[in-house]
Structure 1
Amino acid sequence: MATSLALTPPPLDLDPLELSILERRGTFGLPPRQISDHLVNVFFSLIAPTLPVVDQDDFMRAYHGSGCDLSLLLLQAIYTIASRSFGGHGDLEDPDLTPRAFYKEAKALYDAGYEQNPTAILQAVVLLSVYWDGPDDLRESGIFYWSHIGIALAQTQGLHTTERYSLLDPADKGLLKRIWWTLYTRDRSVAAAFGRPAHINLADCTVEPLTEEDFVHSGSAQQTHARYFLQYIKLCQIMDLGPCVNLASRAAGPRPRRDVEAARCELKLHEWLASCPMEFLWRPAAHSFWAAMLQSVFHTIVCQLHLSQKQSSRSS
């Protein structure tokens, strides 16, 4: 039996035909409560630290029916990415409980304009930007699609400007700042992974840097997750200093300039390594998951730096 949750009702101005289509495709049918609970737990324990766009306490109050209605779009987005890391449960062999099935439901809700809360829409879009079927999933609705939509929506709401946060209480301010900086990290990581230009130019942004105080109201079980994400942002900013994601400098410009950019990038990598807290320095003898995650990003930048230098020497 599908789980019963207090979900947001459809908007009054939703086209009856759209609502009928959503009902016929089973968009409002949710997985059994045991499966739902486990997916939500997987999300907050393994995924939310890398995508800190949902306040756990607020979400869980709504999830357990003691707060406001729960966003169906956000819930389907959480199911989508959590189900990829679920494992160990035969029920997920059901074709209606696969990441692809959850993704289709979330996209249908988004396309129909079912969700009206702009923050919930942004949260869901950020989460969906992680979903892809594999290396060949570069279609229109793939990984780049959601990343670009998220950035556009956030800029429309002014999340890249300081003024947007001036009248907000600390909880809302922290949440929106985390959403913006998560979009920034997604923009840089996707650009680095696929060799595409970045879409956020920090020179055009006045939003304040993220701090540990912005995580106080997030419901994180430990501040380790906050400190991890702040270090992750620093690594993403290092990508901006050299040819790691600056594709224009790879293809054009005098070689001396490219060499200077590469040297600056390498210097910043050394500085990050020297200043990185011990808890995030990966060591084989004391393995740490979050330290390993940061080290993988660090070495990705190193590899791209060496690759760009090699390409530069060939073209000279």
Structure 2
Amino acid sequence: MKLHLLVSAMEKGGGSIHTRSTDHHDFIVMKTETENAQEPTYIGRDHYLSHEDEIDESRARAFEPAFSTVHASTQQATVELWKGNDIPPHALRQSLLSAFLDHCQVWTPVLEPDDVAEFSRDQTPSSMLLAQSLWLAGSRVTSGPAVAAFATPDIFYHRAKAIFWSGLETQPVSVVKASLMLQWYNPQAPEHVSFDSSGFWLKIGVGVAHQIGLHREPSPGPSRAIRRKLWWSLANRDSLICVAHGRPRIINLDDSNVQRPLRSDFPESEFNFHLFSSWTDICQVLGDISTCCMRKHLSRTKKLYIDGMLYRWIKGMPAELQIIPKNQLANTFFPAGHNFAVRQLYIPYFTSLIIYSRMQNSAGSMSVTATLAASFVARLFEDFVARDEIKVLAPIFTRFCLISSMALVATMPHHELWDSCQPDLMVLQQSLTELSKRWRSAIGASKALKNAISKRQQKGLNAAPPARMDDQHTLDFFETLDLDYCRMWTPINQQLLGADSNSYHHVQLDIPVQGFSAMEEFNAAFDPTQGLNPSLMQFQHVEDWILNDGNLFQP
């Protein structure tokens, strides 16, 4: 009999053992009757047990876990040295909690209603690791002088770090939650090794998540929703760090059977469900694209999958998440267009289009898809700057900004388009400058952009022929969007037509999209495992698959 074992890490005071069967697998759960019982651990034995074999888990686990020999007073003294038990005034705690809920919780929904209620009360939190991590994240997305007067993000971070390494926090779920919050610290640019980076804490969070089985579909119960939210928050962060740093993902979703976020996981808000669900979908697509770039391989099966996912993502966007819908009436008010979180949601979608389209073009060449997507990103960043929202963007947005900038730099041989993209490029450069005030990763991104422009100019490239569509499906990815929102649409359309921009706009965009049926027929004629031309993906530097401009980037 195959076994999936879910065994408690500690058994005290008359613990009981229960066996249940789910999906044709047996689960052994050892429950304790103590209030401080730890989260059960997950152990999978399928890979070395036959159908006939059984393991008596009561006997296999009938021993005490190891305990640290460090005296509790030493651990507590370490925390007190860092003032890890210091609590901000009630009004300040409320401010930090509100900042986290407004700008962080939507992307990493780690706080449960009970957590919010506890942190709202004027009392000592039950988990100081979770509290200090929450206050750190909140301090990163607020500029209130009262916060800085009490403690800087550095102080909040080191307090949380001291509590973590002291071992005083015994609840694994709290550790996973804290590991996601601590990623908002991110003090160092990826050009330098850091033991405080988001990637460092992600690996800790994923390691604990695997121990407690977060990668397996949770059983029905009160913790089902938060376990699913935590797992997908980790998976999303993994994909974003992959695209930001050009480093491998540490989560392989083939090893997981957790369903995507469900409506029932968000009883408080259908809007939050749609937002996080759409965020999860596009983060995974972006991570898949980045992985293909790093591995220098894109099979035709994978290409068809990515094409379909990108198309379905934008085509199936719920009405409440549509920011710039096509065919809107003049001066029509769309609430989603003024929602900060919704506008952020579209940035990774356009970034996916940029990387995906450029990796299929020859190095250094211009992609119409990438140029249009980059122009959309510039307009969104222009809104962030105008509304003073850029100061609360997550550090991943520095990479999104760089990627979009490099897509516009590729228009330089097309002199008219290069002139037309200057307003967008200026917006993105200004955004990197603003982001660098809070995130050091923007400093390296800004230097990379300036260096790429300089290298291009030194080459003195000859004028390129007029722009052409990447393929017949280029505009499918923008089908539901108002292209007039994008500055580069008019000059690109004029080059495509060599005439008035309106004609192509009306003729092409009104043609019903067939859901890539032509592409499916084309791909069906090939071996699904056959890769695309590898010469298009010969990247020699970690940044090359983002820049895709030969050796323009010099570290």
TM-score, shorter chain, exceeding 0.5: yes
Task: Give the Cα–Cα distance (whole angstroms) in 1 for the partners of residues 292 and 180 of structure 2.
Answer: 23
Aligned-CA RMSD value: 2.8
Q: 1:314 to 1:129 in 2, by over 3 A?
A: closer
**1:189 touches 1:236 (CA, 8 Å); kept in 2?**
yes
Which amino acid in structure 1 is aligned with residue 73 of structure 2? P
Q: Deviations over 1:66-88 (max 9, x none)?
A: 9995211101111111101112x
Which amino acid in structure 2 is aligned with residue 178 of structure 1? K
**1:53 touches 1:178 (CA, 8 Å); kept in 2?**
yes
**What SS is found at the alignment partner of 1:246?**
helix
Q: Is the strand fraction higher in 1 or 2?
A: 2
Task: Give the Cα–Cα distance (whole angstroms) in 1 for the partners of residues 287 and 242 of structure 2.
Answer: 11
Identity of aligned residues (%): 22
Q: Which runs of 5+ in 1 are unaligned?
A: 1-7
Task: Give the Cα–Cα distance (whole angstroms) in 2 for the partners of residues 245 and 315 of structure 1.
Answer: 14
Which amino acid in structure 2 is aligned with residue 193 of structure 1? A
Q: Is the helix fraction higher in 1 or 2?
A: 1
Q: 1:14 to 1:177 in 2, by over 3 A?
A: farther
**What SS is found at the alignment partner of 1:244?**
helix
Q: Who is 2:199 aligned against?
A: 144
Q: 1:33: how far off?
A: 1.8
1:11-30 aligned within 5 A: 15-30=72-87
Q: 1:121: how far off?
A: 1.3
Report the TM-score when normalising by structure 2. Answer: 0.48
Q: 1:262 to 1:26 in 2, by over 3 A?
A: same
1:101-112 aligned within 5 A: 101-112=155-166
Which amino acid in structure 1 is aligned with residue 95 of structure 2? H
Q: 1:263 to 1:207 in 2, by over 3 A?
A: closer
1:1-316 aligned within 5 A: 15-55=72-112, 57-64=113-120, 70-87=126-143, 89-94=144-149, 97-136=151-190, 138-162=193-217, 165-166=218-219, 168-169=220-221, 171-216=222-267, 220=268, 222-239=269-286, 241=288, 243-250=289-296, 253=297, 257-258=298-299, 261-283=302-324, 286=334, 287=337, 288-310=339-361, 311=363, 312-313=535-536, 315=538
**1:74 touches 1:123 (CA, 8 Å); kept in 2?**
yes
Q: Deviations over 1:130-183 (max 9, x none)?
A: 321253564122111101111111011111113xx22x51x3111111111111
Task: Give the Cα–Cα distance (whole angstroms) in 2 for the partners of residues 267 and 181 of structure 1.
Answer: 21
Which amino acid in structure 2 is aligned with residue 146 of structure 1? W
Q: 1:299 to 1:134 in 2, by over 3 A?
A: farther
Q: 1:85 to 1:315 in 2, by over 3 A?
A: closer
Q: 1:66 to 1:29 in 2, by over 3 A?
A: closer
Give aligned pairs, total. 290
Q: Which runs of 5+ in 2 are unaligned?
A: 1-35, 37-66, 326-332, 364-534, 540-555
**1:177 touches 1:210 (CA, 8 Å); kept in 2?**
yes
Q: 1:23: how far off?
A: 1.1
Q: Deviations over 1:183-212 (max 9, x none)?
A: 111111111121111111111111222201
Q: 1:67 to 1:100 in 2, by over 3 A?
A: closer
Rg bigger for which structure?
2
Q: Who is 1:4 aligned against?
A: none
Task: Give the Cα–Cα distance (whole angstroms) in 1 for the partners of residues 117 and 537 of structure 2.
Answer: 58
Task: Give the Cα–Cα distance (whole angstroms) in 1 for the partners of residues 274 and 230 of structure 2.
Answer: 16
Which amino acid in structure 1 is aligned with residue 195 of structure 2? E
**2:246 touches 2:294 (CA, 8 Å); kept in 1?**
no
